[in-house]
Chains A and B, each alone.
Chain A
Amino acid sequence: MREFFDMGGYAAFLWPSYAVTLGVAVINVIWARRSLARAMAAARRRLAAGADS
């Protein structure tokens, strides 16, 4: 197990590269869902405003 995490001495370069790429992948999912939720909220506000006038 220790040997696996050591990655033949490349751990300091290898694990950050995995963290950055997979981190970017996760963040994109969060960003996408948030941007959709924001657009839906804006659409609801527009509909409500339109209904009132």
Chain B
Amino acid sequence: MNWTWFHRLGSPPHIYRLAQQLTPWFAWPAAALILTALYGGLVLAPPDYQQGDGFRIIYMHAPAAWMSLMVYTTMAVAAAVALIWRMKVAHAVAASCAPIGASFTFAALVTGSLWGEPMWGTWWEWDPRLTSELILLFLYLGYMGLRGAIEDPQRADRTSAVLAVVGIVNVPIIHYSVTWWNSLHQAPSVMRLGKPQLSLPMLWPLLVMLLGFTLYFVAVLLVRLRGEILLRERSASWIREVVGT
């Protein structure tokens, strides 16, 4: 088997250039999909028979929550790859994920709170889903704090990677919390086995929004990744080319 592609994945100049070239291919479709989904969710989708127009918070809350988990999973997988194969680029990916994931976890908690107050009559409850999502925010913040506290970049990479990998245990807990325990939070309406619980006019804007945010994540990640790669490359001659001096 030819492993050239795998070695090229570990090559910083190759990844740097690839990231630069790929960014617009993710950014523009992401913007188009999110705008389409906003129109679909706010204008075309009918009001819910129980929650009226209030259900439309789902088009922001679900993508934010999806980002919080998907970004963490990406971060943990990248950290594991970096630890196992000592791949510098994978450390750069993991480090790029953290601020994106943390900010969307914050958005998921805030939008959840804004949805909880009118529907459940409370802004916050120490419920399994809500509590485990809050722990996710602390994991992200802990990861970033740990990186910031260690001066040597290589040690910061390795130590924070261990935290990222160990923290992955929280991801299935968040996802299954509504099934395992008696939760105030509703059960999954899309990410479930069998048929989704939303009708098509309500469902398609949500799916388009989830896809849009996923592409958006890749675009933002690719921009951050280039910066992280530059920070890790001390005296490579290709840097002179890309920073233009």
Contact = CB atoms under 8 A, between A and B. Distances in A.
Chain B interface mostly helix, strand, loop or mixed?
A: helix
B216 interface: yes
Interface string A9-26: 110011011101110110
The range of chain B's interface size is 35 or more
Nearest to B34: A25
A20 B57 CA distance: 11
A37 B213 CA distance: 24
Contacts of B235: 46, 50
B64 A24 contact: yes
The range of chain A's interface size is 20 to 34
B106 interface: yes
A17 B61 CA distance: 8
B224 A22 contact: no
B63 interface: yes
Contact of B243 (A18, A25, A29, A40): A40
Contact of A21 (B63, B220, B230, B242): B63
Contacts of A25: 34, 213, 216
17 contacts: A8-B53, A9-B52, A13-B114, A14-B54, A17-B61, A20-B107, A21-B60, A21-B64, A24-B106, A27-B103, A28-B220, A32-B100, A36-B226, A37-B227, A40-B243, A42-B230, A46-B234
Interface of A: 4, 7-10, 13-14, 16-18, 20-22, 24-25, 27-29, 31-33, 35-40, 42-44, 46-48, 50
